[in-house]
Amino acid sequence: MIPKETAELFLKHQYRFAGEHSAVKICEWTKKSLRNEGACYKQKFYGIESHRCLQMTPSVSWCPNRCVYCWRAIEKTEESPKTGEKTDNPNDIIDRCIEAQRKLLTGFKGLERVERKKWKEAQNPNQAAISLSGEPTAYPRISELINEFHRRGFTTFLVTNGQYPERLEGMTEPTNLYISLDAPDRETYRKVDAPMLKDYWKRLNRSLELMNGFSCTKVIRLTLVKGWNDHDPEGYAELIKKAGADFIEVKSYMWVGYSRLRLKEKNMLLHDEVKSFAEKISELTGYRYKDEQKSSRVVLLAR
């Protein structure tokens, strides 16, 4: 399903395919954790172990948005599978992702800084970050995939841009459900997320409303790009109130990957600027300061 040119690009950047439309890649925080150089803020905030995290996607080249801040090659993506296109079985996707991750981790075994115990644990991941590339809910069997991960004893973090609310209705709940909220209003969303679907604002708002009915841990993530969407905290607050999330992550855009072709380094917010914006969101929503990680330029607010 993935065009040859696109596939070669993903492989060049150390992705490994797990079937026709899924992929896995070792997260930089997984590598750092194995070398005892720190851990992802998700370990600090939510208790997962970075070295046992499987960073994967069931929709490597499907996404209805082409966000300006995305570190992927968004120009190579399609909105969703073509009508009638056969998709892979969730069980096979997970088997292939684990197999591919083990191969990618092979070289770490002989590194002096890597603990053998940690390396062995990493061979059997127990946390799935379903967010690597593309939009996970573009995969029609996303609910089955989450269910299979849970059957195997995994925790799951599903990150969605909320453009397929119909997939959230009646979906098997992940351990953590993230919705990316990249704009306080319709026009900013159009500029920042470059949506392909015409009713994008209606879809996002519907997803926020549906989130309110989930019983799992719910997180709204604001990725702020200086000069693009770091304004109107009041607008963000009104949207946040619809979702009934447990946490809000206020995070700076990071100048990495292909985003460097679209943005400049100065489009990253300093950590103090992130904190200042988070304080405004806190005042407007009633969410309180919970934690932060300066290296990731992220502040966590809790209800």
Per-residue model confidence as pLDDT tens digits over 115-130: 889 999 999 999 999 9
Low-confidence ranges of the chain (pLDDT < 50): none
**DSSP code for 172:** P
pLDDT reported for residue 75: 75
pLDDT reported for residue 9: 79
CATH of the domain at 148: 3.20.20.70
Give how many domains the chain has, as a whole number: 1
pLDDT reported for residue 2: 75
Alpha carbon 103 to its chain's center:
23
pLDDT reported for residue 74: 77
pLDDT reported for residue 1: 67
Range of the domain at 161: 4-302
pLDDT reported for residue 280: 98
